[in-house]
């Protein structure tokens, strides 16, 4: 028995990194998965990997800043699998590393468009299908940078992830009566393409290792396991809530 047997999930940014780990884990737990991303080759490879495991997944090209792409992705879930139960708003970009006064308007807009507007558009597109299913679970991937400030020079990223945290609570309250739950996940330092450059610098890598109480960096599976809990019925009384998965970093 899988923890997601009979459920259909749509995951944005699932061609690689955390989203791909979630797609693979969800499929292993019995869900049918629609994988959305801009990276068509990588996304198709995850689709094939899931088929090799005996699961069922469909890759769709999805730019999370496009309402039309979101509508098509939700429609794919309905056409292929007949329903939608789970949405994971995972797609996001990092970057920055400069102070507020050196952050360009273009970079600010791009970051807010993908990380915050993308979650709004995904939620808006999925709600009618989740209502039709009699309820469901939305998991929004924020960050520890959506909870605490940082001297690292990532103002646009912080603003975008803070927006995701409270949009999550707003969605949870508005749709509790529809039996649609909505929660946020706040990863700490996770080894993915997004953190590759930072972690390639030995000093920065050691700095993180020294500051994380559990003494190691996070893996994509650390996050996928938390997302699975929120996506599944194991968390049926959890909504408007947040899970920090950071090895204890912001508990200090």
- The rounded Cα 34 to chain-centroid distance in angstroms is 14
Choice among 59, 81, 157, 208 that is catalytic: 157
Contact status: 209 vs ligand NAD (CB under 6 A): no
| Number of chain positions touching ligand NAD (CB under 6 A) | 29
Cα angle: 32, vertex 34, 40; to 5 degrees: 140
Contact status: 195 vs ligand NAD (CB under 6 A): yes
CB nearer to ligand NAD: pick between 206 and 236: 206
CB nearer to ligand NAD: pick between 176 and 194: 194
C-alpha pair distances (Å), 38 with each of 41, 87, 106, 116, 212: 9, 17, 20, 17, 32
Contact status: 13 vs ligand NAD (CB under 6 A): yes
Taking CB under 6 A as the binding criterion, the range among 2-10, 90-98, 171-179, 202-210 that sits at the site for ligand NAD is: 90-98
Helices 17-28, 220-231: inter-axial angle, 10-degree rounding? 50
Q: Do 17 and 222 meet the contact criterion of CB atoms below 8 Å apart?
A: no
Binding mask 114-133 for ligand NAD (x = CB under 6 A): x-------------------
C-alpha pair distances (Å), 74 with each of 107, 130, 226: 28, 10, 23
Q: Does residue 208 carry a catalytic annotation? A: no
**H/E run at residue 8:** strand 8-12
Contact status: 29 vs ligand NAD (CB under 6 A): no
**DSSP character for 147?**
T
CB nearer to ligand NAD: pick between 94 and 136: 94
Residue 139, C-beta contacts closer than 8 angstroms, at least 6 positions apart: 86, 87, 88, 89, 182, 183, 184, 185, 227, 230, 231
CB nearer to ligand NAD: pick between 133 and 228: 228
Contact status: 64 vs ligand NAD (CB under 6 A): yes
Catalytic residues: 157
Binding site for ligand NAD (CB under 6 A): 12-13, 15-19, 37-39, 62-65, 90-94, 114, 141, 143, 187, 189-190, 192-195
């Amino acid at each position: 028995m899988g923890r997601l047997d009979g459920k259909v999930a749509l995951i944005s940014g699932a061609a690689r990194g955390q989203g791909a780990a979630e797609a693979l884990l969800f499929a292993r737990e019995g869900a049918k998965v629609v994988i959305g991303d801009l990276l068509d080759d990588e996304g198709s490879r995850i689709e094939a990997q899931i088929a090799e495991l005996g699961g069922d997944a469909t890759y769709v090209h999805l730019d999370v800043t496009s309402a039309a792409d979101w509508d098509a992705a939700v429609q794919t879930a309905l056409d292929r699998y007949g329903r939608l139960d789970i949405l994971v708003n995972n797609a996001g970009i990092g970057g920055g590393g400069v102070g507020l006064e050196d952050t360009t308007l273009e970079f600010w807009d791009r970051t807010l468009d993908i990380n915050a507007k993308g979650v709004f558009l995904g939620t808006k597109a999925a709600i009618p299908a989740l209502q039709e299913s009699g309820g469901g679970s939305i998991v929004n991937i924020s960050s520890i940078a959506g909870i605490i400030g940082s001297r690292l020079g990532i103002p646009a990223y912080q603003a975008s992830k803070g927006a995701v945290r409270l949009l999550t609570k707003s969605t949870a309250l508005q749709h509790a009566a529809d039996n649609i739950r909505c929660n946020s996940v706040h990863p700490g330092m996770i080894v993915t393409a997004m953190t590759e450059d930072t972690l390639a610098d030995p000093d920065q890598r050691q700095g993180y290792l020294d500051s994380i109480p559990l003494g190691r960096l996070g893996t994509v599976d650390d996050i996928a396991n938390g997302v699975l809990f929120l996506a599944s019925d194991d968390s049926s009384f959890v909504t408007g809530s947040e899970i920090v998965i950071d090895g204890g970093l912001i508990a200090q």
